[in-house]
Amino acid sequence: MDKIRIRGGRPLKGQIRISGAKNAALPLMAACLLTDETLTLSNLPHLADITTLANLLVQHGVDLHMNGATDGGHTGRVLEMTARDITSTRAPYDLVRKMRASVLVLGPLLARFGEAQVSLPGGCAIGTRPVDLHLTALELLGAEIEIKEGYIYAKAPNGLHGAEITFSKVSVGATENLLMAACLAKGTTRLMNSAREPEITDLAECLVKMGAKIEGIGSDTLVVEGVERLGGADHSVVPDRIEAGTYAIAAAITNGELELLGARTEHLGAVIEILTKAGVEVTETDEGLRVRRLNGELTGVDVMTEPFPGFPTDLQAQTMALMSAADGAAMITESIFENRFMHVPELTRMGANVNVHGASAMVRGQKKLTGAEVMATDLRASVSLVLAGLAAEGETMLNRVYHLDRGYERVEEKLAACGADIERIKGP
Ligand code: EPZ
């Protein structure tokens, strides 16, 4: 297994090109199942999760062509997907357990073929993460759903029909699954209390290019007028706001200055607000955002994760690394997932002072973090350890790098180009 070695203490300086968003690309790829024509996605990141979903789509019979893969990922890949001859509507456990987002094939398969069998995803390091909201809402569209032998068996022999759906909790995945299914349902569907993440807007915009009729894009009420069929489209994946936020924190924690090419203010409002309060300056440039510490110390700031436009849970661990190096205390509250503090014991090994009480963590900033051998349990936890390592005195060795490779493209290359002393050590 690969490891990453970091020797900390160098301020990062330079430009980082933000890749296409993993969490936008995954639902966009699932959307290819809604049509027999070709959906072409550009600016696709090179990530393990993208390969996992590509393998699942191939298993369903989707014809895939990946272009632009020869430059090591510097420009993003172009993926052509044609779901003309679907040979299986079953998403098997072996593939789904590798990545929960595989459940996003459920809505499109059911809507277009009237049936789907999708393995329940199983456990996850950050919380129980059930899919009940997806299933209850699909039932309101007329699906018959049974859970047997660890699989979701869904049928809609007479097709899906429009309905009024109010999600009892804001869910990114449930909103995406239902949005895709509703595009091919008969009549009008209103999705209320929908998630509003930029990745959902990106999906909705692509579906509109494919011929879907969707109103309220970007709001918490999506109104979908079902159509008979959807067609092909060309779509460029939105830049990854979580990757951008992570590198903004890298600039702040190392007392450096980075220009994040492609980063968008409108996707990072709550993050910029917290960074500004912490003493970090974020300014717009022609091509993205420039981030640098204003002067002197970082200040501890309280943070609470919330659905968009609130502060993203996917930046909570990274923010904890930042607050660990700030002057003063910060209360970090995780309101989305019940077990997303797995990075705390590892950050503590690097000298952070963090006490967890239920959904909140009290972080008391330290003058100095120190390098250590650490390991991570999920994607964002891993990158928080990279950030702490960049600021720490001495050497940090990060184990279980495969978590990082699920969501950060060429992370060590991007950081090294800005002056970080970081290298990947290839495992057996
Ligand atoms: C998406 O997961 C992201 N994944 C996650 O990114 C992100 O953390 C999360 O949204 C929240 O922003 C992708 O987009 C592929 P949810 P998703 O449904 O859709 C509960 C990362 O690091 N819930 O919005 O699975 C759930 O347990 C990842 O890139 C139900 O109770 O998240 C959670 O507490 C990790 N029942 C909350 O809702 C359901 O049926 C929000 O989950 C569905 C969700």
Tell me phi and psi for residue 366, to 5 degrees.
-115, 150
The yes-or-no answer on residue 124 being catalytic is yes
Residue type, 211: G
Any atom of ligand 1 within 6 Å of the Cβ of 171: yes
What are the residues facing 305 on neighbouring strands?
311
pLDDT of residue 72: 56
Among protein residues, the one with the nearest Cα to ligand 1's atom 9 is 172
**Which atom of ligand 1 is closest in space to residue 173's alpha carbon?**
19
Q: How confident is the model at residue 32 (pLDDT cuts 50, 70, 90)?
A: very high
Spatial CA neighbour of 19 closest among 424, 412, 408, 420? 408
- The tens digit of pLDDT for each residue in 151-188 reads 999 999 999 999 999 999 999 999 999 999 999 999 99
What are the CA-CA distances from residue 315 to residues 81, 175, 387, 388 (Å)? 31, 21, 12, 14
Distance of alpha carbon 32 from alpha carbon 207, whole angstroms: 10
At residue 75, the pLDDT reads 63
129 Cα: distance to centroid of ligand 1 (angstroms):
7
CA–centroid distance, 172 to ligand 1, in Å, is 6
5, 10, 15, 18 alpha-carbon torsion, rounded to 10°: 40
- pLDDT of 234 > 70? The answer is yes
- The answer to whether 325 touches 297, Cβ cutoff 8 Å, is no
| Among 129, 197, 202, 403, residue to substitute to test ligand 1 (most atoms within 8 Å of Cβ) | 129
pTM check: above 0.95 = yes
Q: How far is CA 134 from CA 94, 141, 171, 197, 199, in A?
A: 21, 11, 9, 17, 17
Residue-wise pLDDT tens digits, 101-144: 999 999 999 999 999 999 998 666 777 788 999 999 999 999 99
Residue 74 has pLDDT above 80, yes or no: no
The protein residue with its alpha carbon nearest to ligand 1, atom 17, reads 173
Q: How far is CA 279 from the centre of its chain?
A: 26
